[in-house]
Amino acid sequence: MNYDARYLDYFECFNAGRYFEAHEVLEGLWLATRGEGRDFYKGLIQTAAVYLKLQQAKPAPAQRLAQRAAALLTPFQPVREGLDVTAVVTLLQAVIQGQNAQAAGAPPQLELKS
């Protein structure tokens, strides 16, 4: 499937731990999108922000953002645009419950299904 370059760049940045850049690169696509896809991209942008807050050792703001991101992404389960949305929501639920994969040295990786 052919995905927008900004969408693909988001995953490259996210998986490299460059969460601010991931947020920024997807914002253009979010702004250009109308309809239900807009909430999907917003949820991914907020997911990057969650992990940025964890990198900055700010767990409480990360938990609040994770709740908002999970709420936005839940309707798109199980899969949207090649992404296992259920897996992303599971990662966000772990943050909400106080887990910090960043601190544990196991940052999450988001992969698109081919």
Average pLDDT over residues 80-95: 96
Alpha-carbon gap, residue 29 to 5, rounded angstroms: 9
**pTM of this prediction?**
0.94
**Tally of CA atoms within 13 A in the half-sphere of 30 that contains its CB:** 15
Q: Are 85 and 93 in contact (CB under 8 A)?
A: no
Bridge partners (DSSP) listed for residue 84: 79
| pLDDT tens digits, one per residue of 26-45 | 999 999 999 989 999 999 99
| pLDDT tens digits, one per residue of 55-67 | 999 999 999 999 9
If pLDDT is split at 50, 70 and 90, which confidence band does 104 have? low
Give pLDDT, residue 103. 65
For each of the domains in the chain, give its residue range(s) and CATH number, in order of start: 5-96 (1.10.3450.10)
